[in-house]
């Protein structure tokens, strides 16, 4: 698969900026242009010095072609990659982001959580080490709801309380701390955001939780469905236990 990324380091430019946004993408041709554009416009409106790291995780539709329209923007790095799954793709984005910015924000590309509420995290950033959205009015099928509850109690049991929505794809984290955590997480981890949430709670770092409306998926299909959810949950459980023992913040 063709890989393309714009990297200003080759031009000798200083890359340190305020914010790096990480967005994993898989088969989102119906909404990806609107999602990327809405985040771009919101970050510009807030006058933030930012970079957007968009990782196309081996999409089988026209997502990659649509993303090419944004490659000319000096605020964006667009990466086409072989499919490795949502978790490993997030980790890859994090590793790039912590080298670029003081703060890292991760969001998904499914348009469930809008950029309108990002300002509520951003304006409080100096008071906290990590700021997390909490999905409000979230509609899930029974299996996914059960997994969400299990994930929450797993983190509560292993790491103490702190993050109310442990796997939320709407999180703003200080890059210097995130870097220390992700360096200890295996690259193939299925749900690294759960582990990161747990690490923050375990270390008793300054955490802020903010309600953010979750509108539900209107396009595309989830990448993990049916029986795969059970397998994924078990994998996440054992990986989280391993990282509970290994991670030091």
* Nearest C-alpha neighbor of 63 from the set 89, 110, 26: 26
Sequence-ordered list of residues with C-beta below 8 angstroms from that of 98, at least 6 positions apart, any chain: 20, 104, 175, 176, 178, 179, 182
Q: Order of strands, edge to edge, in the sheet holding 17-25? A: 76-81, 50-57, 17-25, 101-107, 170-174, 130-136, 207-213
With beta carbons less than 8 A apart as the criterion, state whether 130 and 200 touch.
Answer: yes
Query: Tell me, what's the pLDDT at 125?
Result: 98
In whole angstroms, give the CA distance from residue 164 to residue 137.
Answer: 14
Which pLDDT score, from 0 to 100, does residue 209 have? 96
pLDDT > 50? residue 13? no
What pLDDT band is residue 164 in, cutting at 50, 70 and 90? confident
Mean pLDDT of the chain: 84
* Collapsed DSSP state (helix, strand, coil) of residue 217: coil
Which range (41-50, 144-153, 233-242) has the least confidence?
144-153
Q: Is the pLDDT of residue 90 over 70?
A: yes
Confidence of residue 105 (pLDDT cuts 50, 70, 90): very high
Mean pLDDT score, 143-152: 58
User: Mind listing the domains of the chain with CATH numbers?
Assistant: 8-246 (3.90.550.10)
d(CA 213, CA 202): 27
Average pLDDT over residues 214-227: 62
């Amino acid at each position: 698969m063709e890989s393309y990324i714009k990297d200003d380091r080759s031009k000798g430019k200083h890359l340190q900026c305020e914010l790096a946004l990480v967005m994993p993408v898989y088969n989102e041709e119906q909404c990806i242009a609107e999602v990327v554009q809405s985040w771009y416009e919101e970050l510009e409106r807030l006058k933030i010095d930012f970079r957007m790291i968009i990782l196309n995780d081996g999409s089988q539709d026209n997502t990659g072609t649509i993303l090419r329209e944004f490659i000319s923007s000096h605020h964006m790095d667009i990466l086409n990659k072989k499919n490795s799954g949502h978790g490993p793709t997030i980790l890859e984005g994090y590793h790039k982001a912590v080298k670029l910015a003081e703060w890292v924000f991760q969001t998904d590309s499914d348009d469930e959580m809008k950029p309108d509420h990002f300002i509520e995290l951003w304006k409080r950033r100096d008071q906290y080490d990590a700021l997390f959205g909490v999905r409000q009015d979230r509609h899930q099928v029974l299996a996914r709801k059960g997994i969400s509850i299990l994930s929450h109690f797993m983190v509560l049991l292993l790491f103490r309380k702190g993050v109310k929505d442990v796997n939320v794809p709407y999180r703003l984290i200080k890059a210097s701390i995130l870097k220390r955590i992700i360096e200890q997480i295996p690259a193939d981890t299925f749900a690294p955001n759960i582990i990161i949430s747990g690490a923050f709670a375990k270390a008793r770092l300054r955490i802020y939780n903010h309600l953010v409306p979750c509108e539900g998926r209107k396009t595309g299909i989830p990448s993990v469905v049916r029986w795969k959810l059970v397998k994924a949950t078990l994998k996440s459980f054992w990986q989280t236990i391993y990282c509970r023992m290994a991670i030091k913040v």
